[in-house]
Structure 1
Amino acid sequence: MEKWFGLDSKFYKFGTLIGDLIILTLLWTICCLPIVTIGASTTALYYVTTRQLSDREGYVSKDFFKSFKQNFVEATVVTILIGIIGVILYINIYLFNPNTTINIILYLIQFVILYQLIIFTIYVFPILSRFDLKLGALIKTTIFMANRHLLTTISCAVLLVATFFITFEYRIAVILCAGVYGILTSLMFMKLFRKYVPDMDKDSPENRG
């Protein structure tokens, strides 16, 4: 029995992980409600999941709110910028009339920008959760990584679509969706980040611990 239900058993660790992901999903959902705080909430979610993958001890709620407070301003600015650009693109695409060659080209450019905005959104908050970067450097780093590592980008996008689909089909999944997506994509992001910062799991001024 000790083998299956002891504190060091896989069953106990799995149960603890599920419990942490439920708490994390709840915190993320509540903190996203003001809408403008979605970025700060997502950054905090990734801070928790990447710490878990680095085998760092901590408490989900404590670590979540530590990151939420620490990255609030920068994450909120990024969220607002994404929102503004997204609205402009939506209006342009909706109202655009591709009736000439030049208009068709301009119309297609809107979709290229939209694609860049989507992959930027996928990467920016995980990067912000792990690195202490100024806004300009954050934007440059995000665009670079999102376009260079296309396999990771596509995998994260597919996971995101799958998460929405599963949550829509099985409403009970809402209690785990954000946490599970966060931990699965964090596996990919941490592997990617370690290519640039081998001591990713150690504390440093550039690496958020």
Structure 2
Amino acid sequence: MRASYDVFYKSIFETYKDLGAVALFTLLWALSLLPIATAGAGTAALYSCMREKQLGKNVSAGDFICAVRRHFKKGLILQLLYAGFLIPALGTSLLLLSDGTVVGIAMSVLLLYTAVLWQLMFLYVWPLLAADPAQTNSMILLRAFKLVSDHFWYSICIAIYVFLLVLLSSIITVALLIAAGATAILLNNAAMKLLQGYDPEAHQFESDVSWKGSLRPWKI
């Protein structure tokens, strides 16, 4: 889809333009994963800081730490909801599939489809939290579900671009230094592209980019 390609292209440009910041916040995000309890808050902080950077604001490591503290409770709950549904759903689906019966296979496919929808929803959960931290988690999940249900194939395309981005980062080892930050930029843009259609005054996305003046991307 052209819309998802425009989002991907602009995200590549913004990743290059702010390469220093992307690397810094990717490193801080990786460190936040070490205490498992802060993984959700660290992810929320990553998306929040990258969004602020995309808006042209100055963001530092101190801002990341403050964002981790600010999003700790919501991030932990979302982290538990994500893993608490996805892991049992995939495990149960594999067990039903190994059963070999028609009913077991049908239920397995249904669970897999639900797991895919859940995964697609979480493409937007973190950008939605970064865009409006005052939202409740239930509202974030409802809005994420609406974005996926209204734009299913767009969401599939964005998921493919995320996969390609992570795959490329795995092949080019040095790119792992920016993988998480680049993914945050991509998903922030993907969400803003959709939210613009619902509330153009609050959310704006411009697909036009200019590479002029972007020769020193290491600056934070």
Class of the TM-score when normalised by the shorter of the 2 chains: 0.7 to 0.9
1:19-58 to 2 correspondences below 5 Å:
19-55=20-56, 57-58=57-58
TM-aligned CA distance change 1:14 to 1:120, over 3 Å: closer
Deviations 1:4-54 (A, max 9, x none): xxxxxxxxx998711111111111111122233222222111112222222
TM-aligned CA distance change 1:65 to 1:199, over 3 Å: farther
Map of 2:124 onto structure 1 = 123
Residues in 1 aligned to 2:78 and 2:202: alpha-carbon distance in whole angstroms: 24
Map of 1:160 onto structure 2 = 162
Q: What root-mean-square deviation, in Å, do the aligned CA atoms of Structure 1 and Structure 2 show?
A: 2.4
1:1-209 to 2 correspondences below 5 Å:
17-55=18-56, 57-96=57-96, 97-131=98-132, 132-200=134-202
Could you tell me which runs of 5 or more consecutive residues in structure 1 were left unpaired when the two chains were aligned.
1-12, 203-209
TM-aligned CA distance change 1:50 to 1:14, over 3 Å: closer
Residues in 1 aligned to 2:146 and 2:64: alpha-carbon distance in whole angstroms: 27
Q: Is the 8 A contact 1:46 1:126 kept in 2?
A: yes
Amino acid in structure 1 at the alignment position of 2:125: V
Under a length normalisation based on structure 1, what TM-score does the superposition of the two structures give? Answer: 0.80
Map of 2:217 onto structure 1 = none
Deviations 1:30-81 (A, max 9, x none): 11222332222221111122222223x2223233223222221111111111
Percentage identity across paired residues of the two chains = 21
* Higher RCO by CA contacts (8 Å cutoff, separation 6 or greater): 2
Higher mean alpha-carbon deviation, 75-84 vs 46-55, is at 46-55
Of structures 1 and 2, the larger Rg is shown by 1
Residues in 2 aligned to 1:199 and 1:32: alpha-carbon distance in whole angstroms: 35
Residues in 2 aligned to 1:155 and 1:48: alpha-carbon distance in whole angstroms: 25
Residues in 2 aligned to 1:117 and 1:181: alpha-carbon distance in whole angstroms: 18
SS in 2 for 1:37: helix
Residues in 1 aligned to 2:91 and 2:122: alpha-carbon distance in whole angstroms: 19
Count residues in correspondence.
189
Higher mean alpha-carbon deviation, 111-120 vs 60-69, is at 60-69
SS in 1 for 2:58: coil
Could you tell me which runs of 5 or more consecutive residues in structure 2 were left unpaired when the two chains were aligned.
1-13, 205-220
